[in-house]
Amino acid sequence: MLSSLWYSERARSLTAQTVLLAACLAGLYWLYDNAVTNLTARGIRVGLDFLWRPSNFPISESIVAYSPANTIAWAFVVGLANTLYISAIAIVLSTLVGLVVGLGRRSSNPLTSGVTGAYITVIRNTPLIVQLLFWYAIATTALPGPRQALNPVGGVFISLRGIYLPSLHLEGITSLLWVGATASLLTLAAGLIYRRRRGLAVTMLAAITIAPFVLALLAFVAGGGRAAVSVPELTGFNFTGGMRLSSEFTALIIGFVVYTSAYIGEIIRGGIDAVGKGQWEAGRAIGLRDSQTLFHVIIPQALRIIIPPLTTQYLSTVKNTTLALAVGYPEFGLVVGTVINQTGQAIESIIIMLGVFLTISLAVSLFMNWYNRRVALVQR
Amino acid sequence: MRMRQGKSILLAGLALALPILGSSAATAQSTLEAVKQRGHIICGASQGTVGFGAPDGQGYWRGLDVETCRAVAVAVFNDKDKVEFVPLSGQQRIPALQTGEIDMLPRTLTWTLRRDANGINFAAVNYYEFTGFMVPKSIGVTKVEDMAGASVCVQTGSTTEVVVNDVSTKHNLNLKTVIFDNVAATRQAFFSGRCDALITDAAALASVRATQAKNPDDYVIFPATPYMDALSVAVRHGDDRWYDIVKWSVQAMLAAEMFGITQANVEEMQESKDPRIMRFLGTEPGNGAALGLDEKFAYNIIKQLGNYGEVFDRNLGAGSPLKIERGPNRLFTDGGLMFPLAFQ
């Protein structure tokens, strides 16, 4: 009986795996227990209750409302929102610029290909942090102070404090518009599903999508709502009114886009080059222009090669945003650092940070994998 | 810059890994034993605030905080140079102490309840100071109430982040903060005009103004709050012997000033018949044995470094380029806050 178990491959591997799992769990428990014991011995509190205390520290800019009276948990959310915001902008802009760079590198015009080649070489061979500091140094030393701000067009002011632009403010029952927009999005989603199953004309889809928003807009106007333009104005120390892109944010986005687009350019060029020359010839043979061949024949095939390395690049970009603290932009890492310093809860905060970045990265790669499956060759 | 970045990530990693993996290294060996075995003290230092802690032209560390470390080195090794200085950002300094990377932290660290309660102990105050704002004279601001709407450069990892918010709320100023991770970037941003004001300890502001402004007279410094901070020397929780050694090494410099003992006259003061001075200088033994140090530890500190007044004078006061007034840092006998405890 026992010997048959010993010789059964299944039983043996099952035992081995159980033992390994138990060892892993025991190891984790040992680490946890050790950490708690050591922290307690050093008089450091352990736990997450600090998250609900008021933060008391300022965050220099955020896309969601924040005041130092909010909780530390909310400060984390603010940092996370900033990280997602700059990641998304950097990824979208870098992809667009990268496409141009990649195509430029393949250009038959020697000037274009030479310039883009030099660009890629310089950018890829210098550290990102140095580039960020370079752009920030330019933003804060080459530009004039707020009182001598450059004023290229009416209402636009550029100074070392940032770029100030006129902005549109909606006055009235703005929640109506949000409800309308949400309803439109839901209708669009439902319409798309319906279209896939039963078929639906594109114009019809467009009409039913827009309808809820238009209705909401009409209700908004009827309710006395209107749009007002706010123009930045120098009052006291700084400009007020309008919208502001801080010099930290601007330097950061320029730095990220310049850096990332060089990589993306190479990824795109590599992908296009990998598609057989015969595909171009075939395109020309059936009378397509080069641009048509590129967008309808080559790029769809190149995407299969481009997507996996592009995913890696997007993930790097998200993680690179933690360098933003060097130029004073309050991304997630800076907030975590501040919280650690103000509360002393280093382990908890760093685990939260790891968890958050893991979640973002997994979400990005899930999306890209899904997209990769969509563009992959379907074997019939 | 890149290194610094790497360092802060490394430290964050350390902060995570050490308590998890280290099987209570702190309890296994006392700090004093570890220091003696190593042959020198590791001391957390600033990233360059002249007067408090910065290497001079020859790379020799100078400053009030630096000499506080040297005093402990003299107490333990009778050699003021048996110290290694680790420059730390505001953000890194407390984790570095908690995780045992450094033995002591005199780095313009404000004594606060929450820091005290969370893994570190404050052994002694070595400087009393207001938090201040520095602004260019050209913007015509001389007090906090005038600062409505101003932007302020702040260094993260300090109590000033909280102070700037408190001030803004209290006076309804709507201050706009620009927060940096490292000291150099914060100061550079201020001098380039990115912010209207720079906030930190007033003496550190004076140091920055004297050493980094193109024309120091173009800038004015005023207090941000009416509350005074105690900049203090911190050690890790849980090693009382080390805590005592650090505390009494700092105290020795204060006591010497009260007794009128200076670097110059310390030798002849050994002849003193005042019992207090005899106990202090170890002519009458007992103090050293109580701390587990050489009986002459206080004598050695004064012999090598001088008393608190001398240290202050050459780093921050009249004998330095900063020319900062002693103010609250005078002894209580002169109307200040510095109070030497009894060496017996």
From the CA of B161, how many Å to the nearest CA of chain A?
5
- B19/A35 Cβ within 8 A: yes
User: Which residues have CB under 8 Å from A338's CB, separation 6+?
Assistant: A57, A75, B91, B156, B157, B161, B179
Within a domain: residue B317?
Answer: yes
Residue with tokens 């439902």: A190
- A325/B98 Cβ within 8 A: no
pLDDT tops 50 at residue B83: yes
Contact residues, chain A, for B185 at CB < 8 Å: 326-328
Measured torsion, CA atoms of residues B24, B30, B36, B42, in degrees rounded to the nearest 10: 60
Strand, coil or helix: B248: helix
Last residue of a domain, which of B175, B203, B229? B229
Instruction: Provide the β-strand partners of residue A240.
Output: A233
- B98/A42 Cβ within 8 A: yes
> Domain range spanning residue B144?
130-229
Within a domain: residue B342?
Answer: no
Within a domain: residue B340?
Answer: no
Within a domain: residue A367?
Answer: yes
Last residue of a domain, which of B170, B199, B229? B229
Q: Are strands B54-55 and B83-87 parallel, antiparallel or unpaired?
A: unpaired
B120 and B153 together in one domain: no
Burial of A52 (0-12, 13-18, 19+ CB in 10 A): exposed
Between residues A325 and B269, the one the model is more confident about:
B269
Q: Report CA torsion sign: A330, A333, A338, A343.
A: positive
Nearest chain B residue to A236 by CA: give it. Answer: B149
- B193/A160 Cβ within 8 A: yes
Within a domain: residue A346?
Answer: yes
pLDDT of residue A155: 82
Q: Are B80 and B142 in contact (CB under 8 A)?
A: no
Max distance between CA atoms of chain B, in angstroms, equals 62
How far does Cα A35 stand from its chain's mean position?
34
B113 and B235 together in one domain: yes
B11 and B122 together in one domain: yes
B109 and B197 together in one domain: no
Where residue A257 sits, what CATH number does that domain have? 1.10.3720.10
**Residue range B166-195, pLDDT digits in tens:** 999 999 998 989 988 878 889 989 999 899
Q: What are phi and psi of B240, to 5 degrees?
A: -65, -35
Residue A175 forms contact with B (CB below 8 Å) = no
B134 and B264 together in one domain: no
- State the average pLDDT over residues B210-235: 93
- In whole angstroms, what is the distance from residue A131 CA to residue B342 CA? 56
What crossing angle do the helices spanning A110-124 and A247-274 adopt, rounded to 10°?
Answer: 120
- A346/B185 Cβ within 8 A: no
B108 and B243 together in one domain: yes
- In whole angstroms, what is the distance from residue B285 CA to residue B344 CA? 10
Q: Are B181 and B8 in contact (CB under 8 A)?
A: yes
Residue type, B106: P
Residue A35 forms contact with B (CB below 8 Å) = yes
- A344/B98 Cβ within 8 A: yes
Domain count, chain B: 2
Q: Are B298 and B256 in contact (CB under 8 A)?
A: yes
Nearest chain B residue to A346 by CA: give it. Answer: B15
- A238/B176 Cβ within 8 A: yes
Q: In this structure, what DSSP letter does residue A296 have?
A: I
B244 and B115 together in one domain: yes
From the CA of B280, how many Å to the nearest CA of chain A?
33
Within a domain: residue A301?
Answer: yes
Where residue B146 sits, what CATH number does that domain have? 3.40.190.10
Residue A341 forms contact with B (CB below 8 Å) = yes
Q: Are strands B176-180 and B151-155 parallel, antiparallel or unpaired?
A: parallel
Low-confidence ranges of chain A (pLDDT < 70): 1-2, 378-380
pLDDT of residue A167: 84
- State the average pLDDT over residues B240-269: 96
Within a domain: residue B339?
Answer: no
Contact residues, chain B, for A343 at CB < 8 Å: 114, 118
Which of B8, B118, B169 is the closest to A44 by Cβ? B118
Q: Are A131 and A260 in contact (CB under 8 A)?
A: no
Q: Give the pTM.
A: 0.79
B212 and B261 together in one domain: no
A residues 248..307 contacting B (CB < 8 A): 248
- A340/B1 Cβ within 8 A: no
- In whole angstroms, what is the distance from residue A349 CA to residue B168 CA? 27
**Residue range B98-146, pLDDT digits in tens:** 888 999 999 999 999 988 988 899 999 999 999 999 999 998 888 899 8
B220 and B107 together in one domain: no
- A42/B237 Cβ within 8 A: yes
Q: Are B16 and A346 in contact (CB under 8 A)?
A: yes
Q: In this structure, what DSSP letter does residue A150 have?
A: B
**Residue range B12-50, pLDDT digits in tens:** 454 555 555 544 444 458 999 999 999 999 999 998 889
Which of B2, B157, B168 is the closest to A341 by Cβ? B157
Residue with tokens 């003299």: B74
Domain count, chain A: 1
Within a domain: residue A23?
Answer: no
B247 and B320 together in one domain: yes
Nearest chain B residue to A345 by CA: give it. Answer: B118
- In whole angstroms, what is the distance from residue A182 CA to residue A202 CA? 20
Residue A245 forms contact with B (CB below 8 Å) = no
Within a domain: residue B176?
Answer: yes
B197 and B108 together in one domain: no
Helices and strands (H, E) in chain B, number of each type = 15, 10
From the CA of A334, how many Å to the nearest CA of chain B?
7
**Residue range B84-103, pLDDT digits in tens:** 999 998 888 888 998 889 99
Contact residues, chain B, for A43 at CB < 8 Å: 117-119, 237-238
B144 and B215 together in one domain: yes
Within a domain: residue A85?
Answer: yes
Last residue of a domain, which of B195, B211, B229? B229
- A327/B237 Cβ within 8 A: no
- B182/A328 Cβ within 8 A: no
Outline where B31-140 has alpha helix (H): 31-38, 64-77, 90-98, 113-116
From the CA of A144, how many Å to the nearest CA of chain B?
9
pLDDT tops 70 at residue B7: no
Contact residues, chain B, for A330 at CB < 8 Å: 179
Percentages helix, strand, coil for chain A (3-state, rounded to 5) are 70, 10, 20
pLDDT of residue B6: 41
From the CA of A74, how many Å to the nearest CA of chain B?
17
- B98/A346 Cβ within 8 A: yes
Residue with tokens 């906030």: B199
Within a domain: residue B190?
Answer: yes
Residue A230 forms contact with B (CB below 8 Å) = no
- Which residue of B10, B147, B156, B240 is the best one to mutate when testing the A interface, meaning the one whose CB has the most A CBs within 10 A? B156
pLDDT of residue B26: 44
Within a domain: residue A198?
Answer: no
Contact residues, chain A, for B22 at CB < 8 Å: 38
Radius of gyration for chain B, computed over Cα atoms and rounded to the nearest angstrom: 21
Q: Are B147 and B222 in contact (CB under 8 A)?
A: no
Within a domain: residue A284?
Answer: yes
Nearest chain A residue to B196 by CA: give it. Answer: A237
- In whole angstroms, what is the distance from residue B308 CA to residue B68 CA? 9
From the CA of B331, how many Å to the nearest CA of chain A?
32
Within a domain: residue A187?
Answer: no
Q: What is the ipTM of this complex?
A: 0.74
pLDDT of residue B310: 97
Provide the token pair at B249. Answer: 């090494």
Contact residues, chain B, for A352 at CB < 8 Å: none
> Domain range spanning residue A125?
72-145+246-375
- A58/B20 Cβ within 8 A: no
pLDDT of residue B20: 55
pLDDT of residue B89: 85
